[in-house]
Amino acid sequence: MGSSSSLHLPGISVSAIFFLVILFLQQPEQSSSAIILSLKKRHGGSSGSSSSGNQYSSSRPSAGFQGNKSTCTLFLGTWVRDSSYPLYKPSDCPNVVEPEFDCQMYGRPDSDYLKYRWQPQNCNLPTFNGAEFLLKMKGKTIMFAGDSLGKNQWESLICLIMSSAPSTQIEMRRGLPLSTFRFLDYGITMSFYKAPFLVDIDSVQGKRVLKLDEISGNANAWHDADLLIFNTGHWWSHTGNMQGWDLIQSGNTYYQDMDRFVAMEKALRTWAYWVESHVDRSKTQVFFLSISPTHDNPSDWAAPSSTGSKNCYGETEPITGAAYPVSSYTDQLRSVIVEVLHGMHNPAFLLDITLLSSLRKDGHPSVYSGLISGSQRSRPDQSDCSHWCLPGLPDTWNQLLYTILFY
């Protein structure tokens, strides 16, 4: 058996220019992963007007897509202050936002981080209209599958919808690995399926075995969905007590550890084969969320922390300037996803949020999470700089999803 007690991360110099080259050259040839988008309806999705039977009116007027669709760079742009934000309050979606994401509830003293809107190059995002979303997705099943960043996005989407369609009947059931939320009046089911590596983990003789070539155990829960949003990334870096497996199986060989990028690529190729062979793309739309960056090290954003902290603790403003401060490790994880999607016959749409999210060092729970006790909140080293406050950044991920689906 191979073994390793630490994660080797080869150093790579990352710059905005390098990332732009990747963005435009490494994307799959099909428009489903293009950064300069022609925003057309995909796989039967409607882009028409809302039905006259709509019994709800949005609390915010629905502004359509504005700009040149052929040159709109959805995932490149700037963060601008907007006093109309945030788009909802946690009270608009009671019991949906979990304590780990509810930063205001758990004592975050500042609120300016809530007041930023993503401004893409050459266009404006349409206003998210939850009532319109319900009408266009009526009778459909939506599945988020992946790690807790997927859960972050799932809860955000529920809240965005509920805030503009507050009277619809709902039902929510939390569980492991599957949690489900239903908009009963519309026959819409929105689920989150916890599968941090996407591929299966089985117990073998008391050991957790990560099976890089097997996915059917998880995928059985996904195959009937009309909209699939996948993600993976953060768990591949965990070591020690945080590591999600005891052994890795690749083919007929077991390993105590292996190069994490190699392991992730093998798992993603298993996932890609499952999508190609089991998902009817005339019926089902498939998205893949790119890597959500962490902000554990201020040197990643090439500026001293405003508080002298060693992580996101105390950060209250986005990063400004022309550079996108993406760490070498995050860059490499994203490149694995891009390479696998590029090799697919019909690629999943890359929801490429890495760059725009890298600017939001202010958007993490830090110590203001329900999973951090009161005594720990005085310790910046306990900060959660991986997940995102809600309301917050994942709302923008879902605005981008909404734009791609319906415009």
Catalytic residue selected from 200, 384, 386, 395: 384
Catalytic residue selected from 290, 295, 387, 395: 387
Active site residue 246: no
Cα distances (angstroms) measured from residue 35 to each of 25, 29, 72, 384:
10, 11, 8, 30
Q: Which two tokens stand for residue 402?
A: 């909404």
φ/ψ of residue 395, rounded to 5: -60, -35
Catalytic residue selected from 148, 156, 164, 179: 148
CB neighbour burial string for 301-336, b if at least 16 within 10 angstroms, e if fewer: beeebeeebebbbbbebbbeeebbbbbebbbbbbbb
Q: Which two tokens stand for residue 146?
A: 């992946």
The burial class, CB within 10 Å (0-12 / 13-18 / 19+), for 223 is middle
> Rounded to whole angstroms, how far apart are CA atoms 398 and 190?
13
> Rounded to whole angstroms, how far apart are CA atoms 20 and 245?
35
Active site residue 148: yes
> Rounded to whole angstroms, how far apart are CA atoms 120 and 80?
10
The strand pairing partners of 351, in sequence order, are 289
Look-up: residue for tokens 């489903």?
32
Q: Which two tokens stand for residue 111?
A: 């609120």
Residues with active-site annotation: 148, 384, 387
